[in-house]
Structure 1
């Protein structure tokens, strides 16, 4: 009897440990886990359409994650989405003011993220600067609708 109870407790503990591990992995993969706050600087970029971009989406440079989307707000004057990005401190005095920002998609139906392309200007990006060269997200539904309307005209 005592041996049976020990086995039941062991199996229960193992199941709880497995459930906790799955929960931890789910938070890590989804990007919802609170990561340690890194020092960095914020820059903004305004886009005509951000598609499915969300706060905490990644910001990449040459495919390497160098920051996260901190906030997304609507510019009520121009009706554009203004995105605030938190970039790593290692990029201070390394990215020029004419750096371009484009919203990309991981795969065909994946997450949206911001891809940065360095420019050639001699002035560097600093805290609070705004990127002027931006490219909005490509919306798959718009492309399909455009293809259908073009094919029906023929």
Structure 2
């Protein structure tokens, strides 16, 4: 009888561990399970270069994460970046999306600077104003050879 109680305790411990592992995997992996996490809408932006961006790159406003990059495609030699933005964030139609890095050599992210317009971008809409990332190699080359503008 005592052996049966130990087996039950071990079974409960293993099940609890598996449930914790599943929760952490879903939470950290940003997996959309059974409709959870559908509180976003999509917008797109066209950049002349999307250097450093990749799927799941953060979208920030004033340093606060408000979304992620969902895809990057090429259209007419320009990068079309699709982004999922939280529903509670309204983007004005004159906002500016720029690609920045965290520090000098850090990961890239998209920074959205709010606009002043009363017109809000609809889901599926386009951010019209974009700023591509700074080309660090080109900048250093210009400084080294005295071609700073």
- Report TM bin, short chain: 0.7 to 0.9
Segments of structure 1 that go 5 or more residues without pairing to the other structure are 1-16
Greater fraction of residues in helix: 1
Answer yes or no: is 1:84 the counterpart of 2:82. Answer: yes
Q: Which residue of 1 aligns with 2:67?
A: 67
Give the number of equivalent residue pairs. Answer: 121
Separation in 1, partners of 2:128, 2:78? 13
Q: Output the aligned Cα RMSD.
A: 2.2
Per-residue CA deviation, residues 100-142 of structure 1 (Å, 9 max, x unaligned), is 1000100110000000011111111111111111000012111
Deviation at 1:150, TM superposition (A): 1.8
Separation in 2, partners of 1:74, 1:52? 15
User: SS in structure 2 opposite 1:145?
Assistant: helix
Q: Which residue of 2 aligns with 1:48?
A: 48
Separation in 1, partners of 2:47, 2:59? 15
User: SS in structure 1 opposite 2:124?
Assistant: coil
| Misfit runs of 4+, over 6 Å | none
Instruction: Tell whether the 8 Å contact from 1:45 to 1:132 is kept in structure 2 after alignment.
Output: yes
Q: Which residue of 1 aligns with 2:103?
A: 107
Given the two structures, how large is their TM-score scaled by the length of structure 2?
Answer: 0.74
Instruction: Tell whether the 8 Å contact from 1:51 to 1:138 is kept in structure 2 after alignment.
Output: no
Alignment of 1:3-152 (within 5 A): 28=28, 33-36=29-32, 37-76=37-76, 79-91=77-89, 94-150=90-146
Given the two structures, how large is their TM-score scaled by the length of structure 1?
Answer: 0.71
Separation in 2, partners of 1:104, 1:88? 20
